Structure 1
Amino acid sequence: MQLGFDAMPRKLIKVTPSRLATWVDCPRRFRMTYLDRPTPPRGGAWAHSTLGAVVHNALRAFFDLPPKRRTPESAAALVSQHWTDDGFAGSDQAARYRTRAQGWVSDYVAEIDPALEPVGLERWVSAPVGKIVAEGRVDRIDERDGEVVVVDYKTGRSALTTDDARGSQALALYVLAARRTLRRPCTRVELHHLPSGTVAAWDHTEESLARHRSRAEEAAEEFQLSTDTLNAGGDPDVLFPAQVGRQCSWCDFRRSCPEGQDAGPAAEPWAMLVP
Protein backbone atom coordinates (compact mmCIF):
# COMPACT_ATOMS: atom_id res chain seq x y z
CA MET A 1 0.00 0.00 0.00
CA GLN A 2 1.37 3.39 -0.99
CA LEU A 3 0.91 6.42 1.16
CA GLY A 4 -0.58 9.50 -0.46
CA PHE A 5 1.03 12.91 -0.35
CA ASP A 6 -1.27 13.94 2.48
CA ALA A 7 0.35 11.31 4.69
CA MET A 8 3.86 12.60 4.12
CA PRO A 9 5.42 14.50 7.01
CA ARG A 10 5.19 18.26 6.76
CA LYS A 11 8.31 20.36 6.66
CA LEU A 12 8.75 22.35 9.85
CA ILE A 13 8.44 26.11 9.50
CA LYS A 14 11.34 28.15 10.85
CA VAL A 15 10.18 31.10 12.92
CA THR A 16 11.82 33.86 14.90
CA PRO A 17 9.98 36.22 17.24
CA SER A 18 10.59 39.14 14.89
CA ARG A 19 9.20 37.24 11.91
CA LEU A 20 6.05 36.28 13.80
CA ALA A 21 5.57 39.79 15.19
CA THR A 22 5.99 41.33 11.75
CA TRP A 23 3.36 39.02 10.26
CA VAL A 24 0.84 39.79 13.00
CA ASP A 25 1.59 43.52 12.83
CA CYS A 26 1.31 43.85 9.04
CA PRO A 27 1.41 41.12 6.36
CA ARG A 28 2.55 43.63 3.75
CA ARG A 29 5.55 44.63 5.85
CA PHE A 30 6.26 40.92 6.30
CA ARG A 31 6.36 40.46 2.54
CA MET A 32 8.57 43.48 1.98
CA THR A 33 10.94 42.44 4.77
CA TYR A 34 11.34 38.74 4.09
CA LEU A 35 10.13 37.95 0.59
CA ASP A 36 10.46 40.82 -1.87
CA ARG A 37 13.71 40.80 -3.84
CA PRO A 38 15.15 43.27 -4.24
CA THR A 39 13.98 44.51 -0.86
CA PRO A 40 12.10 47.82 -1.16
CA PRO A 41 14.07 50.84 0.11
CA ARG A 42 13.86 51.35 3.85
CA GLY A 43 13.53 54.58 5.75
CA GLY A 44 16.34 56.11 7.77
CA ALA A 45 17.58 55.27 11.24
CA TRP A 46 15.35 55.59 14.31
CA ALA A 47 16.83 57.16 17.41
CA HIS A 48 15.12 54.72 19.78
CA SER A 49 16.55 51.78 17.81
CA THR A 50 20.02 53.32 17.95
CA LEU A 51 19.64 53.82 21.70
CA GLY A 52 18.54 50.22 22.25
CA ALA A 53 21.35 48.81 20.10
CA VAL A 54 23.98 50.85 21.96
CA VAL A 55 22.75 49.67 25.36
CA HIS A 56 22.67 46.03 24.21
CA ASN A 57 26.17 46.26 22.73
CA ALA A 58 27.56 47.93 25.83
CA LEU A 59 26.12 45.26 28.13
CA ARG A 60 27.47 42.47 25.99
CA ALA A 61 30.92 44.08 26.00
CA PHE A 62 30.65 44.55 29.77
CA PHE A 63 30.45 40.80 30.38
CA ASP A 64 33.40 40.26 28.06
CA LEU A 65 35.56 42.23 30.49
CA PRO A 66 37.50 40.44 33.26
CA PRO A 67 35.45 40.49 36.49
CA LYS A 68 37.82 42.98 38.16
CA ARG A 69 37.09 45.52 35.43
CA ARG A 70 33.30 45.15 35.56
CA THR A 71 32.54 48.46 37.20
CA PRO A 72 29.81 51.05 36.62
CA GLU A 73 32.46 53.38 35.25
CA SER A 74 33.58 50.79 32.70
CA ALA A 75 29.96 50.22 31.68
CA ALA A 76 29.41 53.94 31.11
CA ALA A 77 32.58 54.11 29.04
CA LEU A 78 31.33 51.24 26.88
CA VAL A 79 28.19 53.22 26.10
CA SER A 80 30.35 56.03 24.75
CA GLN A 81 32.49 53.55 22.84
CA HIS A 82 29.49 52.08 21.03
CA TRP A 83 27.56 55.31 20.61
CA THR A 84 26.30 56.72 17.30
CA ASP A 85 24.07 59.73 16.63
CA ASP A 86 21.96 57.93 14.00
CA GLY A 87 18.33 59.04 14.05
CA PHE A 88 18.65 61.81 16.61
CA ALA A 89 17.51 65.36 15.94
CA GLY A 90 21.05 66.66 16.32
CA SER A 91 24.23 66.42 18.34
CA ASP A 92 22.68 68.12 21.38
CA GLN A 93 19.81 65.64 21.62
CA ALA A 94 22.17 62.73 20.98
CA ALA A 95 24.49 63.91 23.74
CA ARG A 96 21.62 64.13 26.23
CA TYR A 97 20.54 60.57 25.50
CA ARG A 98 24.09 59.30 25.56
CA THR A 99 24.42 60.66 29.08
CA ARG A 100 21.06 59.17 30.00
CA ALA A 101 22.05 55.75 28.59
CA GLN A 102 25.31 55.87 30.53
CA GLY A 103 23.31 56.39 33.70
CA TRP A 104 20.95 53.53 32.93
CA VAL A 105 23.75 51.09 32.23
CA SER A 106 26.00 52.11 35.12
CA ASP A 107 23.09 51.93 37.58
CA TYR A 108 22.09 48.54 36.18
CA VAL A 109 25.51 46.90 36.47
CA ALA A 110 26.01 48.36 39.96
CA GLU A 111 23.38 45.83 41.10
CA ILE A 112 25.07 42.88 39.36
CA ASP A 113 27.67 40.59 40.93
CA PRO A 114 30.85 41.28 38.92
CA ALA A 115 31.64 37.56 39.06
CA LEU A 116 28.44 36.64 37.19
CA GLU A 117 29.26 34.56 34.11
CA PRO A 118 26.22 34.24 31.85
CA VAL A 119 25.68 30.96 30.02
CA GLY A 120 25.12 32.95 26.86
CA LEU A 121 25.35 36.51 25.53
CA GLU A 122 23.51 37.27 22.31
CA ARG A 123 23.20 33.49 22.12
CA TRP A 124 21.46 31.91 19.14
CA VAL A 125 19.06 29.15 20.20
CA SER A 126 17.02 26.86 17.97
CA ALA A 127 14.81 23.82 18.43
CA PRO A 128 12.01 21.94 16.64
CA VAL A 129 8.81 22.21 18.67
CA GLY A 130 5.54 20.94 17.27
CA LYS A 131 5.06 22.26 13.72
CA ILE A 132 7.78 24.90 13.89
CA VAL A 133 11.48 25.41 14.48
CA ALA A 134 11.63 28.11 17.13
CA GLU A 135 14.82 30.12 17.01
CA GLY A 136 16.29 33.49 17.82
CA ARG A 137 19.04 35.41 19.56
CA VAL A 138 18.69 35.84 23.33
CA ASP A 139 20.20 38.92 24.98
CA ARG A 140 21.47 36.98 27.98
CA ILE A 141 21.05 33.54 29.49
CA ASP A 142 21.88 33.05 33.16
CA GLU A 143 22.16 29.86 35.19
CA ARG A 144 20.50 29.80 38.59
CA ASP A 145 19.99 26.77 40.81
CA GLY A 146 20.57 24.32 37.97
CA GLU A 147 18.18 26.01 35.53
CA VAL A 148 18.76 28.58 32.83
CA VAL A 149 16.94 31.92 32.81
CA VAL A 150 16.12 33.97 29.70
CA VAL A 151 16.95 37.66 30.17
CA ASP A 152 15.78 40.32 27.73
CA TYR A 153 16.96 43.94 27.96
CA LYS A 154 14.43 46.70 27.28
CA THR A 155 14.92 50.44 26.78
CA GLY A 156 11.38 51.48 25.80
CA ARG A 157 9.26 54.35 27.03
CA SER A 158 7.36 52.50 29.77
CA ALA A 159 8.21 50.17 32.63
CA LEU A 160 7.08 46.59 32.11
CA THR A 161 4.88 44.31 34.21
CA THR A 162 4.51 40.65 35.04
CA ASP A 163 1.78 40.49 32.39
CA ASP A 164 4.31 41.69 29.80
CA ALA A 165 6.71 38.90 30.74
CA ARG A 166 3.95 36.28 30.82
CA GLY A 167 2.46 37.42 27.51
CA SER A 168 5.70 37.73 25.56
CA GLN A 169 5.65 35.16 22.79
CA ALA A 170 9.28 35.92 22.06
CA LEU A 171 10.41 34.96 25.55
CA ALA A 172 8.29 31.79 25.53
CA LEU A 173 9.83 30.68 22.26
CA TYR A 174 13.30 31.40 23.63
CA VAL A 175 12.51 29.11 26.57
CA LEU A 176 11.51 26.29 24.25
CA ALA A 177 14.59 26.77 22.08
CA ALA A 178 17.01 27.24 24.98
CA ARG A 179 15.91 23.98 26.59
CA ARG A 180 16.88 22.03 23.48
CA THR A 181 19.98 24.02 22.58
CA LEU A 182 21.50 24.03 26.08
CA ARG A 183 19.95 20.75 27.25
CA ARG A 184 18.98 22.24 30.59
CA PRO A 185 15.69 23.01 32.33
CA CYS A 186 14.27 26.46 31.63
CA THR A 187 11.02 28.06 32.73
CA ARG A 188 11.84 31.59 33.93
CA VAL A 189 11.87 34.69 31.74
CA GLU A 190 12.80 38.23 32.76
CA LEU A 191 12.39 41.65 31.17
CA HIS A 192 15.06 44.02 32.47
CA HIS A 193 13.87 47.59 31.81
CA LEU A 194 16.92 49.79 32.20
CA PRO A 195 15.25 53.26 32.19
CA SER A 196 13.14 52.37 35.24
CA GLY A 197 15.58 49.90 36.81
CA THR A 198 12.83 47.30 37.13
CA VAL A 199 12.60 43.58 36.36
CA ALA A 200 9.38 41.90 35.24
CA ALA A 201 9.56 38.12 35.58
CA TRP A 202 7.43 35.08 34.91
CA ASP A 203 7.84 31.35 35.51
CA HIS A 204 6.27 29.44 32.65
CA THR A 205 4.40 26.18 33.01
CA GLU A 206 4.11 23.53 30.33
CA GLU A 207 0.56 24.75 29.74
CA SER A 208 1.53 28.37 29.24
CA LEU A 209 4.36 27.38 26.89
CA ALA A 210 1.96 25.18 24.93
CA ARG A 211 -0.41 28.13 24.45
CA HIS A 212 2.38 30.31 23.10
CA ARG A 213 3.58 27.53 20.85
CA SER A 214 0.07 26.98 19.49
CA ARG A 215 -0.32 30.67 18.61
CA ALA A 216 3.09 30.66 16.96
CA GLU A 217 2.16 27.58 14.93
CA GLU A 218 -1.06 29.21 13.72
CA ALA A 219 0.74 32.37 12.60
CA ALA A 220 3.52 30.35 10.97
CA GLU A 221 1.07 28.24 8.99
CA GLU A 222 -0.70 31.41 7.84
CA PHE A 223 2.41 33.13 6.52
CA GLN A 224 3.76 29.93 5.02
CA LEU A 225 0.50 29.33 3.12
CA SER A 226 0.54 32.91 1.83
CA THR A 227 4.20 32.54 0.85
CA ASP A 228 3.60 29.28 -1.00
CA THR A 229 0.60 30.76 -2.80
CA LEU A 230 2.63 33.83 -3.77
CA ASN A 231 5.36 31.62 -5.19
CA ALA A 232 2.70 29.80 -7.22
CA GLY A 233 1.64 33.09 -8.83
CA GLY A 234 -0.84 34.51 -6.30
CA ASP A 235 -1.63 38.21 -5.98
CA PRO A 236 0.77 39.76 -3.44
CA ASP A 237 -1.66 42.51 -2.42
CA VAL A 238 -4.39 39.97 -1.67
CA LEU A 239 -2.12 37.52 0.14
CA PHE A 240 -0.22 40.18 2.09
CA PRO A 241 -2.61 43.09 2.74
CA ALA A 242 -1.56 46.25 4.51
CA GLN A 243 -2.65 46.41 8.15
CA VAL A 244 -2.97 50.13 8.65
CA GLY A 245 -2.78 51.85 11.99
CA ARG A 246 -0.58 54.08 14.13
CA GLN A 247 2.39 51.86 13.33
CA CYS A 248 2.33 53.13 9.75
CA SER A 249 3.82 56.41 10.96
CA TRP A 250 7.14 54.72 11.76
CA CYS A 251 7.15 51.82 9.29
CA ASP A 252 10.46 51.34 7.47
CA PHE A 253 8.60 50.68 4.21
CA ARG A 254 6.21 53.62 4.41
CA ARG A 255 7.47 55.14 1.15
CA SER A 256 6.46 51.97 -0.72
CA CYS A 257 2.98 51.68 0.82
CA PRO A 258 0.26 54.16 -0.27
CA GLU A 259 -2.17 52.83 2.35
CA GLY A 260 0.38 53.45 5.07
CA GLN A 261 0.99 56.98 3.86
CA ASP A 262 -2.75 57.67 3.90
CA ALA A 263 -3.04 56.39 7.48
CA GLY A 264 -1.35 59.47 8.93
CA PRO A 265 1.75 61.66 8.90
CA ALA A 266 5.21 60.19 9.18
CA ALA A 267 6.77 60.21 12.65
CA GLU A 268 10.01 62.03 13.31
CA PRO A 269 12.96 59.63 13.74
CA TRP A 270 13.25 60.60 17.42
CA ALA A 271 9.52 60.45 18.25
CA MET A 272 9.69 57.16 20.16
CA LEU A 273 12.49 58.06 22.54
CA VAL A 274 11.91 57.79 26.27
CA PRO A 275 10.56 61.24 27.29
Structure 2
Amino acid sequence: MSQVSDVGTGRPVQQEFAGMPPKLYAASPSRLLALVDCPRRYRMQYLDKPRPEARAQRAHTSFGLAVHNALRDWWDLPRDRRTASAGRELVRHSWIDVGFRDADQSLAWRKRAQEHVVDYLGRVDPDDPPRGIERTVSFISGTLRLTGRIDRLDERDRELVVVDYKTSQRPLGEDDARTSLPLALYAAAVWKMFRHPCLRVELHHVPSGEIVSHTHTPESLTRKVDEAKSIAQDARRADADFAERGVESTLFPPVVGPLCTWCDFRAHCPEGQTAGPEKSGWAALEPSEVPRAAEVD
Protein backbone atom coordinates (compact mmCIF):
# COMPACT_ATOMS: atom_id res chain seq x y z
CA MET A 1 0.00 0.00 0.00
CA SER A 2 1.50 3.34 -1.07
CA GLN A 3 0.94 6.96 -0.23
CA VAL A 4 0.34 9.90 -2.54
CA SER A 5 -0.10 13.57 -1.78
CA ASP A 6 -3.50 15.24 -1.81
CA VAL A 7 -3.51 17.88 -4.55
CA GLY A 8 -5.28 20.47 -2.45
CA THR A 9 -3.36 20.14 0.81
CA GLY A 10 -0.11 18.38 0.01
CA ARG A 11 -0.79 15.97 2.88
CA PRO A 12 -0.11 12.26 2.30
CA VAL A 13 -3.23 10.23 1.53
CA GLN A 14 -3.24 6.52 2.27
CA GLN A 15 -4.37 4.37 -0.64
CA GLU A 16 -6.46 1.22 -0.32
CA PHE A 17 -5.16 -2.15 -1.45
CA ALA A 18 -6.30 -3.02 -4.94
CA GLY A 19 -9.26 -5.37 -4.83
CA MET A 20 -10.22 -4.45 -1.29
CA PRO A 21 -13.99 -4.30 -0.69
CA PRO A 22 -15.49 -0.82 -0.32
CA LYS A 23 -15.57 0.67 3.15
CA LEU A 24 -18.69 0.22 5.23
CA TYR A 25 -21.10 3.14 5.28
CA ALA A 26 -22.20 3.82 8.87
CA ALA A 27 -25.66 5.27 9.37
CA SER A 28 -28.69 5.30 11.63
CA PRO A 29 -32.31 5.06 10.48
CA SER A 30 -32.81 8.74 11.29
CA ARG A 31 -29.84 9.73 9.14
CA LEU A 32 -31.12 7.72 6.19
CA LEU A 33 -34.63 9.17 6.48
CA ALA A 34 -33.24 12.70 6.77
CA LEU A 35 -31.80 12.32 3.25
CA VAL A 36 -35.13 11.04 1.95
CA ASP A 37 -37.13 13.85 3.57
CA CYS A 38 -34.88 16.73 2.49
CA PRO A 39 -31.31 16.49 1.15
CA ARG A 40 -30.67 20.11 2.12
CA ARG A 41 -31.54 19.45 5.76
CA TYR A 42 -29.46 16.27 5.65
CA ARG A 43 -26.43 18.25 4.50
CA MET A 44 -26.81 20.88 7.20
CA GLN A 45 -27.45 18.33 9.94
CA TYR A 46 -24.76 15.78 9.11
CA LEU A 47 -22.15 17.24 6.74
CA ASP A 48 -21.70 21.00 7.12
CA LYS A 49 -18.68 22.06 9.20
CA PRO A 50 -19.28 23.97 11.31
CA ARG A 51 -22.82 22.73 11.64
CA PRO A 52 -25.38 25.54 11.27
CA GLU A 53 -27.05 26.48 14.52
CA ALA A 54 -30.36 24.70 14.95
CA ARG A 55 -33.40 26.38 16.42
CA ALA A 56 -34.20 25.88 20.10
CA GLN A 57 -35.84 22.63 21.19
CA ARG A 58 -39.60 22.56 20.75
CA ALA A 59 -42.12 21.80 23.49
CA HIS A 60 -43.27 18.48 22.01
CA THR A 61 -39.68 17.24 22.07
CA SER A 62 -39.35 18.21 25.74
CA PHE A 63 -42.63 16.42 26.46
CA GLY A 64 -41.54 13.29 24.58
CA LEU A 65 -38.12 13.12 26.24
CA ALA A 66 -39.61 13.35 29.71
CA VAL A 67 -42.08 10.54 29.00
CA HIS A 68 -39.42 8.31 27.42
CA ASN A 69 -37.00 8.90 30.31
CA ALA A 70 -39.67 8.14 32.91
CA LEU A 71 -40.60 4.85 31.22
CA ARG A 72 -36.93 3.93 31.02
CA ASP A 73 -36.11 4.81 34.62
CA TRP A 74 -39.15 2.98 36.01
CA TRP A 75 -37.44 -0.36 35.42
CA ASP A 76 -34.45 0.75 37.50
CA LEU A 77 -36.60 1.22 40.61
CA PRO A 78 -36.54 -1.42 43.35
CA ARG A 79 -39.40 -3.87 42.88
CA ASP A 80 -41.37 -2.56 45.86
CA ARG A 81 -41.34 0.95 44.35
CA ARG A 82 -42.15 -0.13 40.81
CA THR A 83 -45.76 1.01 40.89
CA ALA A 84 -47.78 2.95 38.35
CA SER A 85 -47.98 5.97 40.64
CA ALA A 86 -44.17 6.10 40.78
CA GLY A 87 -44.27 7.34 37.21
CA ARG A 88 -45.54 10.70 38.42
CA GLU A 89 -42.32 11.55 40.23
CA LEU A 90 -40.20 10.13 37.43
CA VAL A 91 -41.82 12.54 34.97
CA ARG A 92 -41.33 15.45 37.35
CA HIS A 93 -37.66 14.55 37.73
CA SER A 94 -37.18 14.25 33.94
CA TRP A 95 -39.19 17.30 32.96
CA ILE A 96 -37.53 19.79 30.60
CA ASP A 97 -39.02 23.27 30.70
CA VAL A 98 -38.00 24.24 27.16
CA GLY A 99 -40.04 25.29 24.15
CA PHE A 100 -43.30 26.10 25.93
CA ARG A 101 -45.13 29.41 25.63
CA ASP A 102 -44.79 30.13 29.35
CA ALA A 103 -44.48 28.49 32.76
CA ASP A 104 -48.23 27.84 32.99
CA GLN A 105 -48.27 25.92 29.72
CA SER A 106 -45.24 23.91 30.78
CA LEU A 107 -46.86 22.98 34.10
CA ALA A 108 -50.11 21.97 32.40
CA TRP A 109 -48.27 19.67 29.99
CA ARG A 110 -46.13 18.23 32.75
CA LYS A 111 -49.28 17.21 34.57
CA ARG A 112 -50.64 15.71 31.36
CA ALA A 113 -47.40 13.74 30.86
CA GLN A 114 -47.65 12.43 34.42
CA GLU A 115 -51.21 11.25 33.84
CA HIS A 116 -50.27 9.51 30.61
CA VAL A 117 -47.31 7.71 32.19
CA VAL A 118 -49.27 6.59 35.25
CA ASP A 119 -52.09 5.27 33.06
CA TYR A 120 -49.64 3.48 30.77
CA LEU A 121 -47.68 1.89 33.62
CA GLY A 122 -50.93 0.66 35.10
CA ARG A 123 -51.05 -1.80 32.19
CA VAL A 124 -47.41 -2.95 32.53
CA ASP A 125 -46.47 -6.02 34.58
CA PRO A 126 -43.68 -4.93 36.97
CA ASP A 127 -42.61 -8.56 37.39
CA ASP A 128 -41.97 -9.05 33.69
CA PRO A 129 -38.89 -6.94 32.89
CA PRO A 130 -37.97 -6.39 29.24
CA ARG A 131 -34.95 -7.97 27.61
CA GLY A 132 -33.60 -4.49 26.98
CA ILE A 133 -34.33 -0.81 27.61
CA GLU A 134 -32.95 1.81 25.21
CA ARG A 135 -30.77 -0.93 23.78
CA THR A 136 -28.31 -0.05 21.03
CA VAL A 137 -28.53 -2.54 18.18
CA SER A 138 -26.67 -2.85 14.90
CA PHE A 139 -26.06 -5.04 11.89
CA ILE A 140 -23.98 -5.13 8.73
CA SER A 141 -25.51 -5.92 5.36
CA GLY A 142 -23.42 -5.47 2.26
CA THR A 143 -21.61 -2.16 2.68
CA LEU A 144 -24.12 -0.75 5.18
CA ARG A 145 -23.40 -0.74 8.91
CA LEU A 146 -26.61 0.36 10.57
CA THR A 147 -26.86 1.32 14.23
CA GLY A 148 -29.87 2.47 16.21
CA ARG A 149 -31.42 2.45 19.65
CA ILE A 150 -34.74 0.85 20.51
CA ASP A 151 -36.97 2.02 23.35
CA ARG A 152 -37.74 -1.48 24.61
CA LEU A 153 -37.16 -5.08 23.67
CA ASP A 154 -39.67 -7.60 25.03
CA GLU A 155 -39.66 -11.37 25.05
CA ARG A 156 -43.11 -12.97 24.89
CA ASP A 157 -43.75 -16.64 24.39
CA ARG A 158 -40.09 -17.03 23.40
CA GLU A 159 -40.48 -14.39 20.69
CA LEU A 160 -38.59 -11.08 20.64
CA VAL A 161 -40.69 -7.95 20.11
CA VAL A 162 -39.45 -4.43 19.29
CA VAL A 163 -41.41 -1.74 21.16
CA ASP A 164 -41.27 1.95 20.28
CA TYR A 165 -42.97 4.60 22.42
CA LYS A 166 -44.85 7.39 20.66
CA THR A 167 -45.92 10.57 22.45
CA SER A 168 -47.30 12.75 19.66
CA GLN A 169 -50.78 14.16 20.10
CA ARG A 170 -51.98 12.69 16.82
CA PRO A 171 -53.38 9.12 17.07
CA LEU A 172 -51.52 6.35 15.28
CA GLY A 173 -52.62 5.05 11.90
CA GLU A 174 -53.19 1.38 11.17
CA ASP A 175 -50.19 1.14 8.83
CA ASP A 176 -47.70 3.09 10.94
CA ALA A 177 -46.04 -0.03 12.35
CA ARG A 178 -46.15 -1.94 9.06
CA THR A 179 -44.53 0.79 6.97
CA SER A 180 -41.97 2.02 9.52
CA LEU A 181 -38.45 1.62 8.16
CA PRO A 182 -36.74 2.16 11.55
CA LEU A 183 -38.85 -0.50 13.28
CA ALA A 184 -38.10 -3.06 10.60
CA LEU A 185 -34.38 -2.29 10.74
CA TYR A 186 -34.41 -2.60 14.53
CA ALA A 187 -36.07 -6.02 14.21
CA ALA A 188 -33.46 -7.12 11.69
CA ALA A 189 -30.69 -5.92 14.01
CA VAL A 190 -32.19 -7.73 17.01
CA TRP A 191 -32.45 -10.94 14.97
CA LYS A 192 -28.80 -10.62 13.96
CA MET A 193 -27.49 -9.79 17.45
CA PHE A 194 -29.53 -12.24 19.49
CA ARG A 195 -29.50 -15.01 16.86
CA HIS A 196 -33.22 -15.42 17.37
CA PRO A 197 -36.04 -14.46 15.00
CA CYS A 198 -37.60 -11.06 15.67
CA LEU A 199 -40.57 -10.30 13.46
CA ARG A 200 -43.09 -8.42 15.59
CA VAL A 201 -42.86 -4.63 15.98
CA GLU A 202 -45.13 -2.43 18.08
CA LEU A 203 -45.85 1.26 18.45
CA HIS A 204 -47.15 2.15 21.91
CA HIS A 205 -48.99 5.48 21.87
CA VAL A 206 -48.54 6.54 25.49
CA PRO A 207 -51.15 9.36 25.55
CA SER A 208 -53.98 7.02 24.49
CA GLY A 209 -52.62 3.61 25.48
CA GLU A 210 -53.22 2.44 21.90
CA ILE A 211 -50.87 -0.24 20.52
CA VAL A 212 -50.39 -0.64 16.79
CA SER A 213 -48.45 -3.74 15.78
CA HIS A 214 -47.22 -5.59 12.75
CA THR A 215 -45.65 -9.00 12.30
CA HIS A 216 -43.09 -9.03 9.52
CA THR A 217 -42.02 -12.01 7.51
CA PRO A 218 -38.34 -12.73 6.80
CA GLU A 219 -39.04 -11.56 3.25
CA SER A 220 -40.55 -8.23 4.31
CA LEU A 221 -37.62 -7.55 6.63
CA THR A 222 -35.24 -8.28 3.76
CA ARG A 223 -37.11 -5.77 1.59
CA LYS A 224 -36.75 -3.11 4.29
CA VAL A 225 -33.05 -3.82 4.66
CA ASP A 226 -32.67 -3.55 0.88
CA GLU A 227 -34.51 -0.22 1.00
CA ALA A 228 -32.08 1.04 3.63
CA LYS A 229 -29.10 -0.14 1.57
CA SER A 230 -30.43 1.72 -1.46
CA ILE A 231 -30.78 4.94 0.54
CA ALA A 232 -27.31 4.40 1.97
CA GLN A 233 -25.87 4.15 -1.55
CA ASP A 234 -27.41 7.53 -2.37
CA ALA A 235 -26.07 8.94 0.90
CA ARG A 236 -22.57 7.64 0.25
CA ARG A 237 -22.60 9.24 -3.21
CA ALA A 238 -23.89 12.53 -1.82
CA ASP A 239 -21.34 12.52 1.02
CA ALA A 240 -18.50 11.96 -1.45
CA ASP A 241 -19.71 14.76 -3.70
CA PHE A 242 -19.91 17.09 -0.71
CA ALA A 243 -16.38 16.13 0.34
CA GLU A 244 -15.19 17.17 -3.13
CA ARG A 245 -17.37 20.20 -3.86
CA GLY A 246 -18.71 21.37 -0.49
CA VAL A 247 -21.82 23.54 -0.56
CA GLU A 248 -21.45 23.84 -4.35
CA SER A 249 -22.66 20.25 -4.67
CA THR A 250 -25.96 19.95 -6.51
CA LEU A 251 -26.97 16.76 -4.70
CA PHE A 252 -28.63 18.55 -1.78
CA PRO A 253 -31.69 20.36 -3.13
CA PRO A 254 -34.29 21.57 -0.64
CA VAL A 255 -37.67 19.83 -0.59
CA VAL A 256 -39.97 22.78 -0.05
CA GLY A 257 -43.29 22.05 1.61
CA PRO A 258 -45.24 22.13 4.90
CA LEU A 259 -42.39 20.47 6.82
CA CYS A 260 -40.24 23.55 6.18
CA THR A 261 -42.28 25.46 8.74
CA TRP A 262 -41.06 22.94 11.35
CA CYS A 263 -37.46 22.57 10.19
CA ASP A 264 -34.73 23.13 12.80
CA PHE A 265 -32.44 24.60 10.10
CA ARG A 266 -35.01 26.84 8.44
CA ALA A 267 -33.06 30.00 9.29
CA HIS A 268 -30.27 28.82 6.98
CA CYS A 269 -32.48 27.85 4.03
CA PRO A 270 -33.94 30.73 1.95
CA GLU A 271 -36.07 28.32 -0.09
CA GLY A 272 -37.59 26.78 3.02
CA GLN A 273 -38.51 30.19 4.38
CA THR A 274 -40.87 30.68 1.43
CA ALA A 275 -43.06 27.78 2.60
CA GLY A 276 -44.83 29.91 5.20
CA PRO A 277 -44.31 31.31 8.67
CA GLU A 278 -42.34 29.22 11.13
CA LYS A 279 -44.36 27.21 13.64
CA SER A 280 -44.13 28.24 17.26
CA GLY A 281 -42.21 26.14 19.73
CA TRP A 282 -45.44 24.72 21.13
CA ALA A 283 -47.47 24.32 17.91
CA ALA A 284 -47.12 20.51 17.89
CA LEU A 285 -49.06 20.28 21.14
CA GLU A 286 -52.15 20.74 18.96
CA PRO A 287 -52.63 17.56 16.89
CA SER A 288 -54.48 19.36 14.10
CA GLU A 289 -51.38 21.48 13.48
CA VAL A 290 -48.93 18.67 12.81
CA PRO A 291 -48.39 16.81 9.53
CA ARG A 292 -47.56 13.20 10.39
CA ALA A 293 -44.02 13.37 9.01
CA ALA A 294 -43.20 16.22 11.41
CA GLU A 295 -43.99 14.23 14.54
CA VAL A 296 -40.74 13.67 16.35
CA ASP A 297 -40.77 12.07 19.79
TM-score tier after normalising by the smaller chain length = over 0.9
Distance of aligned partners of 1:38 and 1:235 in 2 relative to their CA distance in 1, 3 Å threshold = closer
1:68–1:114 CA contact under 8 A, matched in 2: no
Alignment partner of 1:106: what SS? Answer: helix
Report if aligned partners of 1:135, 1:173 keep a CA contact under 8 Å in 2. no
Distance 2:18 2:253 in 1: 29
TM-score, length of structure 1 as denominator length: 0.94
| In 2: Cα distance, 1:133 partner to 1:122 partner | 19
Q: Tell me how large the CA RMSD over aligned residues is.
A: 1.6
Partner of 2:58: 46
Query: What letter matches 2:97 in structure 1?
Result: D
| Structure 2 SS opposite 1:138 | strand
The letter of the residue matching 2:168 is G
Separation in 2 of the partners of 1:35 and 1:256? 14
Q: 2:33 aligns with which of 1, 17, 21?
A: 21
| 2:162 aligned to which of 150, 172, 181 | 150
Residue 198 of structure 2, aligned match among 163, 168, 186: 186
Partner of 1:36: 48
**Are the counterparts in 2 of residues 129 and 176 from structure 1 also a CA contact under 8 Å?**
no
Shift of 1:8: 4.2
Deviations 1:83-120 (A, max 9, x none): 12100001111111111111110000001111121111
Residues 35 and 235 of structure 1: CA distance in aligned 2, closer, same or farther (over 3 Å): closer
Q: How far apart, CA to CA, are the structure 2 residues paired with 1:56 and 1:76?
A: 13
Alpha-carbon deviation of 1:76?
A: 1.1
**Cα distance in 1 for residues equivalent to 2:251 and 2:275:** 20
Query: Can you list the C-alpha shifts for 1:128-149, whole angstroms capped at 9, x where unaligned?
Result: 1234122101001111122211
Paired position in structure 1 for 2:22 = 10
Q: 2:118 aligns with which of 106, 109, 115?
A: 106
C-alpha contact (below 8 Å) 2:200/2:214 kept by paired residues: yes
**Quick check: 2:134–2:152 contact (8 Å CA) kept in 1?**
yes
- Residues 7-64 of structure 1 deviation map (CA, whole Å, 9 limit, x = unaligned): 6422232221110111111111111111111110110110001100000000000011
Say which SS state the counterpart of residue 96 (structure 2) adopts.
coil
Q: How many residues align?
A: 271
Choose the corresponding residue for 1:97, options 101, 109, 112: 109
* Runs (5+) with no aligned partner, structure 2: 1-16, 288-297
- Matches for 1:1-275 after TM superposition, within 5 Å: 8-233=20-245, 236-275=248-287
CA distance in 2, matches of 1:80, 1:139: 20
Q: Give deviations 1:118-170, integer Å, cap 9, x for gaps.
A: 11111100111234122101001111122211000001122213411010000
Give me the whole-angstrom Cα distance separating, in 1, the residues matched to 2:224 and 2:104. Answer: 43
CA distance in 2, matches of 1:249, 1:79: 29
Deviates more, 1:155-164 or 1:261-270: 155-164
Tell me how far apart the structure 2 counterparts of residues 147 and 135 of structure 1 sit (CA, whole Å): 22
CA contact (8 A) 1:153 1:193 kept: yes
TM-score normalised to the size of structure 2?
A: 0.87
In structure 1, distance between residues paired with 2:55 and 2:243: 27
Mapped to 1, the partners of 2:65 and 2:97 lie a distance apart of: 12
C-alpha distance in 2 between matches for 1:7 and 1:274: 56
Cα 1:209–1:50 shift into 2, 3 Å: same
Amino acid of the structure 2 residue aligned with 1:168: S
Identity of aligned residues (%): 49
Deviates more, 1:228-237 or 1:180-189: 228-237
Partners of 1:193 and 1:169 in 2: CA distance: 18
State the shift of 1:237 in Å. Answer: 4.8
Do the aligned residues in 2 keep the contact of 1:104 with 1:195 (CA within 8 Å)? Answer: yes
User: How far off its partner does 1:241 sit?
Assistant: 1.0
